[in-house]
Amino acid sequence: MKHGNVAVFIQQHNGKIENVSLELLGKALDIAHELKTNVSAYLPCEKAGDMPKILFSYGADNVYIIENAELKEIISIPYAKAVVEAVKKDAPGIVLFGATRAGRDIAPRVASSMKSGLTADCTELKIGPYTDNKTGKTYEQLLYQIRPAFGGNIIATIINPVRHPQMATVREGVMKMKTPDNSRKGQIIPLTITLSPVDLSVKIINKIVKEKKVNLTGANIIVSGGMGVGSKENFDRIRELADIIGGEIGASRAAVDQGWVSKEHQVGQTGVTVRPKLYIACGISGSIQHKAGMDQSLKIIAINNNPEAPIFNFAHIKIVGDLNTVIPMMIEAYKKQDNK
Amino acid sequence: MEIVVLVKQVPDTANVGADAMKEDGTVNRAALKAVFNPDDLHALELALEMKDKYGAKVTVITMGPPKAVEILRESLYRGADNVFLLSDPKFAGSDTLATSLILKSAIEAKAKKFDIIMAGRQAIDGDTAQVGPQIAEKLNIPQVTFVTEIESIKNNTIKLSRLSDEGTEVIECKTPILLTVEGGFNTPRSPRVKRMFKYTTRVKEIHSVIFKSIETKNYEPNQNSVNQMMKELISEHIIG
Ligand SMILES: Cc1cc2nc3c(=O)[nH]c(=O)nc-3n(C[C@H](O)[C@H](O)[C@H](O)COP(=O)(O)OP(=O)(O)OC[C@H]3O[C@@H](n4cnc5c(N)ncnc54)[C@H](O)[C@@H]3O)c2cc1C
């Protein structure tokens, strides 16, 4: 019997897809490969636009589109109904959600409605066999849903052999996003939902948007920008590199003072102290105060056009050059390696 | 206005010492102190603030072993009007789906006319944050998760703030509704000495509410299946 599809709930806002959804498509593709099945993306939204193309390129084979003006903002009931509709049509074996606030709001409603289990906040997913000692029944290919439990004191592996689909929310940033393959194609399946007045009784009347919470101290990779980045717009280069290699964004105080990035990103004596596996300092001179927050990093790459910059005295890898040319080269090189 | 608050007694996972870890890597729950789940205390406080402001009646429900009566007692001392403990050996090992079914049945049985159900965002022993939304789905009512503040309740319209992935949202919603409450946005009041005296005797009257959540089991009309059914009825002491 063919295994049901591996499905991913796509979280987006105004046509911009959240990274975690793309990360999960990559994982779903690996799992689907192992199970010899396909990847479905469930896309509730106001207007799908070019999102399906992006989803195909990151691993989706089928995109279920649920377009509705009421899906502009993420509200529990309309979104849960949209996902349930897709689950009913697709009959997937596995459904994955990002463990974002929205994911953790919607997934339990969907699970409850499907009367299936749901594992929260997984950090790893695997396929493996399981034998139920009580019944003697063996399951060949179950989803191992692996997560820290008990306040992080133990790591638990959770399975859901009986009810379907197997559902999990997965933490942001733990699965690696695949390099998009624009030649990948797939099928679009439009669905509709009907919503009652009660379904629409929760309304957002105002929003205060905050820059995403940063987790610098826990990051394995940090790409940091300083005064040498030159402008707020140019700081996007730092963001792009960080996004692609899966890192967090750091900054010197000078860059923060310029308003290019928020204070939460500041590394150093009056910012956060970090110890990542890799710290990439772009256009940062390496002042004592900055050094105090990052010189314990396992590997430090410094990109600076001044060969005399103090940062080179304690960097492990030295690139004397203009960050505007070096960063794009790094992105290019990383993509090439990744495609191999 | 009727508010139901769902609370849980949890092992204090924030303070797991080496002695609480067993050799096989599992946690020895018995070695951990049992505490009022922190987010649930904030949910209770929010409910009590609504009681102060609008004269709401606050009913607290928990599911757990008999020992969980401790947090019900604490709820009374802090200002709750009514408390219920759902306790049955069969509830042990319930996952979030089973828990939500049990709590949903209890809400229907014990607080027929609720306006708001409040629960803490998540419990520190599992951090799943699932039970609230699952109950809302089972009761077929809307939910708002990660609530930080209730600004006003007028007629049956609630204006409140919540955390979203982008930041903060101001929401308008209608009762009946289920809210999950973020920790840290209010200061839970202390138990009141006066209430402790008032409730010393009453607490003794809290009894285990044993009830059955209805589960339909299918048996095939063949000998094996019927044998199985009889075996189960006997093992459950339903037939002798
Ligand atoms: C009490 C106190 C506390 C402080 N705390 C902190 C702190 O916590 N964190 C912190 O970072 N600072 C802190 N500072 C400030 C610190 O002293 C420095 O001023 C600051 O770190 C400098 O930031 P920068 O390296 O980005 O800028 P600069 O020192 O101006 O360096 C910019 C660098 O970019 C290079 N560059 C320019 N253009 C390019 C290009 N196109 N390509 C490549 N390289 C280029 C330049 O050669 C130069 O080396 C503190 C200062 C004080 C007094």
Name the pairing type of β-strands A138-149 and A154-158: antiparallel
ipTM of the complex: 0.79
Cis omega (within 30 of 0) on the bond before B176? Answer: yes
What residues does each domain of chain A span? 6-191, 221-339
**Backbone φ and ψ of B60, nearest 5°:** -110, 130
Q: Please tell me which residue of chain B has the smallest CA distance to A116.
A: B97
For chain A, say whether B31 makes contact (Cβ under 8 Å): no
Host H or E run for residue A286: none
With CB atoms and an 8 Å threshold, state whether A153 touches B21: yes
Enumerate residue ranges in chain B where pLDDT < 50: 203-216, 238-240
Q: What does the radius of gyration of chain B's CA atoms come to, in whole angstroms? A: 20
Does residue A325 line the site of ligand 1, with CB under 6 A?
A: no
Does residue A29 line the site of ligand 1, with CB under 6 A?
A: no
Per-residue pLDDT, B220: 66
What is the CATH topology of the domain spanning A221-339?
Rossmann fold (3.40.50)
**Partners of B4 in the beta sheet?**
B59, B117
* Residue numbers of B between 49 and 88 with CB closer than 8 Å to A: none
Atom nearest to A267 CA in ligand 1: 9
Both tokens of A281, joined, read: 């300092």
Per-residue pLDDT, B216: 43
Host H or E run for residue B4: strand B2-7
Contact B82, B58 (CB under 8 A): yes
Sign of CA dihedral A203, A208, A211, A215: negative
Distance CA(B129)–CA(B131), nearest Å, equals 6
Pocket test for ligand 1, best of A258, A267, A284, A313 (most atoms within 8 A of CB): A284
Taking each helix axis from N to C terminus, what angle separates A19-35 and A51-58, rounded to the nearest 10 degrees? 50
Per-residue pLDDT, B209: 43
Distance CA(A168)–CA(B48), nearest Å, equals 34
Does residue A237 line the site of ligand 1, with CB under 6 A?
A: no
CA A227 – ligand 1 centroid, Å: 6
Distance CA(B45)–CA(B120), nearest Å, equals 10
What is the CATH topology of the domain spanning A6-191?
Rossmann fold (3.40.50)
CA A253 – ligand 1 centroid, Å: 7
Name the pairing type of β-strands A221-225 and B177-181: unpaired
Does residue A171 line the site of ligand 1, with CB under 6 A?
A: no
Nearest CB neighbour to A202, from listed B27, B144, B164: B144
What residues does each domain of chain B span? 2-214
Atom nearest to A255 CA in ligand 1: 26
Asked if the domains at A6-191 and A221-339 fall in one CATH topology, the answer is yes
Pocket test for ligand 1, best of A223, A229, A231, A289 (most atoms within 8 A of CB): A289
Does residue A304 line the site of ligand 1, with CB under 6 A?
A: yes
For chain A, say whether B105 makes contact (Cβ under 8 Å): no
Instruction: Write out pLDDT tens, residues B39-93.
Output: 999 999 999 999 999 999 999 999 988 888 889 989 999 999 988 888 877 777 7
Per-residue pLDDT, A158: 87
SS3 sequence, A110-168?
HHHHHCCCEEEEECEEEEEEEECCCCCCEEEEEEEEEEEECCCCEEEEECCCCCCCEEE
Atom 18 (ligand 1) nearest CA: A287
CA distance B11 to chain A (A): 9
Does residue A261 line the site of ligand 1, with CB under 6 A?
A: no
Give, for all 340 residues of chain A, the pLDDT tens digit.
Answer: 678 999 999 999 989 999 999 999 999 999 999 999 999 999 999 999 999 999 999 999 999 999 999 999 999 999 999 999 999 999 999 999 999 999 999 999 999 999 988 999 898 899 999 988 888 888 889 999 998 777 666 778 888 888 789 999 998 777 888 999 999 999 999 999 999 999 999 999 999 887 556 778 778 889 999 999 999 999 999 999 998 888 899 999 999 999 999 888 999 888 888 888 889 999 999 998 899 889 888 888 999 999 999 999 988 888 898 999 989 888 888 777 655 4
Does residue A320 line the site of ligand 1, with CB under 6 A?
A: no
Listed in sequence order, the residues at least 6 apart from B201 whose beta carbon sits closer than 8 Å to its beta carbon are none
For chain A, say whether B124 makes contact (Cβ under 8 Å): yes
| CATH number of the structural domain B2-214 | 3.40.50.620
CA distance B74 to chain A (A): 24
